[in-house]
Amino acid sequence: MRRTAGAAVLGLSACGYPLTQFVIRRWGVRGAAVVESVCLGLAIRDASMVAAGIPGRLRLVPAVLLRLELAIGIVAALAGLHPFRNTRSAGRMPSARTIAAETVRRAAVAMLFAVHTIRFGIYLRADQGRRTLPEPMSAQPKPDSSALPVQ
């Protein structure tokens, strides 16, 4: 990914949580469906990366962040299902349980985009968060045989 495109995507990722709140307020249940699909998409992508063994190729912090993003993505996706199950009428006051579920959903989505932004920022670096591999044996200089002690 080019540096400018990466910076643009990083900026959108950093604005992810406010954008999700805007979409939900603007389009209601349809907006909640969009946010749900984004959270579920991030969780599915992270699960496929973990299943493919990507954390084994990453440094410690990016590997932990990948697994953390997967866990948070699952929580955000599950918490996002509440608006679809809730069929209360618009005139009724929300219950304490509904308010608590909405708080959990908002916190999970905010954490998901925060961790995603941090991880994406790491991937934009030169090493992309990968472990540095030792040089192969053929690339290492061979010892000079004349320097060996004579017996």
pLDDT of residue 129: 75
pLDDT of residue 124: 83
pLDDT of residue 126: 74
Find where tokens 């959108």 sit. Answer: 12
Instruction: List, as one string, the DSSP characters of 108-121.
Output: HHHHHHHHHHHHHH
Per residue in 23-77, pLDDT tens? 989 998 889 899 999 999 999 999 999 999 999 988 899 999 999 999 999 999 9
**Average pLDDT of span 137-141:** 58
How far is Cα 137 from Cα 139, in angstroms, rounded to an integer?
5
pLDDT of residue 16: 92
> What is the length of the chain?
151
Chain-centre distance of CA 113, in angstroms? 7
Per residue in 94-114, pLDDT tens? 778 778 888 999 999 999 999
